[in-house]
């Protein structure tokens, strides 16, 4: 019998993670939403790869967003290097031309982004497909980045030119100029956050956050957090002056967010201390608490590892709550019954959002997997289930008459043995 590849085995972390030494906005949100999800995503899985955490699932929207972010960062860093003081200036056009144009910048960022995940075993079988899909999206990404950059120019980046020290990235007070991808921190609180762009002018600081998706209420909170960290970052901002402006830049519009001032800053800090402490406590148990919900489980990248998700009562809860969600993933837990041929199996449903337990189904694979054996219990994520045809029924080969369902593997489908 062929051994099951480690990636296709449902694993528990070899070591559960400790609470993070430094909190960030996305870490806090993930822990608040579901401590189990954070812990499963950040445990150690040496059987799979050498990096910390479970190999992430790559998605087109997230990858496109990261590529656009990196493209903006590349252009801004080139402007800083060449001491170009304004995105409006003719020199800025020259800088962009020297970079090979926006399309080249984006293509390079695409290659780099996919290169970072070259060792991700979860992405191996879809890397060519991802590459093709992202290539096809390059014109749209180019348009978005162009619009995003065009939204920045109202800011004169550094009147009188950017001082040399602005390029250093070293410690100490930040000088006048533009500072892309700048980490801000509040060490006493154990917090840090990376501002997409910080512009320091003689009047004060402006913080920009670039968003490639639709606006969400959380974006405002995140940017106010960056404003708070800037105010409390005694190393970069010894005066403790709050930022002058906070700007959320979408490809359709720019939203001005009011910075916190006076008592609001103290209140924000107290709330942050409380939230952080609650989140850390939530990671005290092993395994940490699972908080299933229709607004998080369908997008959870480690739901195949989460026993809570597959319980019938959780599946029923998600279906009940589905009116509040646009869709639920087509996930199935099935028992392999009989191999019809190298790429087709008769299976029985063990757990599913939509189909009854014990219902017969046919599992169609896009390629042969010789490690599959009768009697195995399999978790199938994101399978397609088109309307069934009578010929798919195991009844035609002596199976039960109630067979109706066909589960088909697609580019997004993942299979895991329990």
Type and span of the H or E element at 148 = helix 127-151
| Under rule CB under 6 A, residue 318 binds ligand SF4 | no
Burial profile 275-292: b = 16 or more Cβ within 10 angstroms, e = fewer: ebeebbebbeeebbebeb
Using CB under 6 A, which of 80, 157, 206, 300 touches ligand SF4?
A: 300
Q: Which residues contact 87 (CB under 8 A, 6 or more apart)?
A: 79, 149, 152, 153, 155, 157
For residue 13, the minimal CB distance to ligand SF4 (Å) is 12
| Under rule CB under 6 A, residue 288 binds ligand SF4 | no
For residue 282, the minimal CB distance to ligand SF4 (Å) is 12
| Window of 65-73, 127-135, 268-276, 293-301 that interacts with ligand SF4 by CB under 6 A | 293-301
Using CB under 6 A, which of 8, 296, 311, 377 touches ligand SF4?
A: 296
Query: Between 64 and 413, whose beta carbon lies closer to ligand SF4?
Result: 413
Query: Between 99 and 381, whose beta carbon lies closer to ligand SF4?
Result: 381
In which residue are the tokens 């994520």 written?
381
For residue 382, the minimal CB distance to ligand SF4 (Å) is 14
Measure the CA–CA gap between 276 and 290, rounded to whole angstroms: 18
Measure the CA–CA gap between 246 and 193, rounded to whole angstroms: 14
| Under rule CB under 6 A, residue 297 binds ligand SF4 | yes
Structure tokens at 337: 């019954």
| Under rule CB under 6 A, residue 309 binds ligand SF4 | yes
- Residue among 146, 166, 225, 161 at smallest CA distance from 191: 225
Measure the CA–CA gap between 161 and 128, rounded to whole angstroms: 44
DSSP string, 213-274: S---HHHHHHHHHHHHHHHH-TTT-TT-PPPSEEEEE-SS-EEEEPPP-HHHHHHHHHHHHH
Whether 144 contacts 170, CB under 8 Å: no
| Under rule CB under 6 A, residue 242 binds ligand SF4 | no
Query: Between 147 and 381, whose beta carbon lies closer to ligand SF4?
Result: 381
Type and span of the H or E element at 72 = helix 60-81
| Under rule CB under 6 A, residue 31 binds ligand SF4 | no
For residue 381, the minimal CB distance to ligand SF4 (Å) is 11
Measure the CA–CA gap between 329 and 318, rounded to whole angstroms: 11
| Under rule CB under 6 A, residue 37 binds ligand SF4 | yes
For residue 289, the minimal CB distance to ligand SF4 (Å) is 9
Q: Which residues contact 69 (CB under 8 A, 6 or more apart)?
A: 196, 210, 212
| Under rule CB under 6 A, residue 394 binds ligand SF4 | no
| Window of 3-11, 256-264, 285-293, 359-367 that interacts with ligand SF4 by CB under 6 A | 285-293
Please, what is the Cα angle at 42 between 319 and 318, to 5 degrees?
5
Using CB under 6 A, which of 292, 350, 383, 394 touches ligand SF4?
A: 292
| Under rule CB under 6 A, residue 207 binds ligand SF4 | no
| Window of 90-98, 265-273, 296-304, 339-347 that interacts with ligand SF4 by CB under 6 A | 296-304
Query: Between 23 and 300, whose beta carbon lies closer to ligand SF4?
Result: 300
For residue 303, the minimal CB distance to ligand SF4 (Å) is 4
For residue 310, the minimal CB distance to ligand SF4 (Å) is 9
Measure the CA–CA gap between 22 and 276, rounded to whole angstroms: 10
Using CB under 6 A, which of 23, 30, 36, 72 touches ligand SF4?
A: 36
Query: Between 178 and 297, whose beta carbon lies closer to ligand SF4?
Result: 297
For residue 317, the minimal CB distance to ligand SF4 (Å) is 10
Query: Between 62 and 273, whose beta carbon lies closer to ligand SF4?
Result: 62
Using CB under 6 A, which of 308, 311, 365, 395 touches ligand SF4?
A: 308
User: For 351, phi and psi rounded to 5 degrees?
Assistant: -155, 135
- Beta pairing class for 254-257 and 332-341: unpaired
Interface residues with ligand SF4 (CB under 6 A)? 34, 36-37, 40, 290-292, 296-297, 300, 302-303, 306, 308-309
């Amino acid at each position: 019998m062929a051994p099951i590849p480690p990636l296709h085995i449902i694993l528990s972390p070899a070591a559960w993670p400790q609470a993070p030494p430094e909190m960030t906005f996305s870490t806090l949100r993930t822990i608040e939403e579901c401590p189990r999800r954070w812990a499963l995503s950040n445990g150690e899985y040496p059987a799979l790869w050498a990096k910390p955490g479970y190999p992430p699932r790559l998605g087109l929207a997230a990858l496109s967003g990261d590529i656009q972010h990196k493209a903006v960062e590349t252009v801004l860093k080139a402007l800083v290097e060449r001491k170009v003081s304004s995105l409006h200036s003719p020199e800025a056009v020259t800088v962009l031309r020297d970079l090979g144009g926006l399309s080249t910048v984006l293509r390079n960022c695409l290659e780099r982004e996919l290169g970072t995940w070259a060792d991700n075993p979860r992405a191996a079988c879809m890397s060519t497909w991802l590459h093709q899909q992202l290539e096809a999206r390059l014109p749209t990404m180019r348009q978005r980045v162009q619009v995003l950059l065009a939204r920045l120019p109202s800011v004169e980046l550094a009147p009188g030119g950017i001082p040399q020290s602005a390029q250093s990235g070293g410690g100490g007070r930040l000088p006048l100029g533009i500072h892309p991808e700048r980490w801000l921190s509040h060490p006493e609180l154990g917090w840090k956050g990376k501002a997409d762009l910080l512009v320091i002018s003689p009047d004060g600081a402006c913080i920009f956050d670039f968003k490639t998706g639709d606006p969400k209420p959380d974006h405002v909170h995140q940017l106010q957090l960056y404003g708070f960290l800037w105010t409390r970052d005694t190393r970069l901002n010894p005066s403790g002056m709050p930022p002058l402006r906070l700007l959320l830049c979408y490809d359709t519009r720019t939203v001005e967010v009011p910075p916190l001032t006076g008592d609001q800053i103290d209140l924000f800090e107290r709330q942050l201390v409380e939230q952080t402490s609650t989140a850390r406590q939530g990671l005290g148990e092993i395994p940490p608490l699972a908080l299933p919900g229709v607004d998080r489980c369908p997008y959870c990248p480690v739901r195949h590892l989460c026993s809570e998700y597959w319980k019938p009562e959780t599946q029923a809860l998600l279906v009940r709550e589905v009116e509040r969600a646009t869709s639920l993933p087509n996930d199935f837990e099935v028992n392999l019954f009989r191999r019809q041929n190298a790429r087709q199996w008769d299976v029985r449903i063990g757990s599913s959002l939509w189909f009854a337990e014990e219902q017969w189904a046919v599992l169609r694979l896009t390629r042969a997997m010789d490690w599959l054996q009768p009697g195995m219990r399999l978790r199938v994520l994101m399978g397609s289930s088109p309307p069934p045809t009578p010929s798919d029924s195991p009844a035609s080969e002596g199976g039960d008459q109630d067979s109706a369902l066909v589960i088909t593997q697609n580019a997004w489908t993942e299979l895991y043995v329990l």
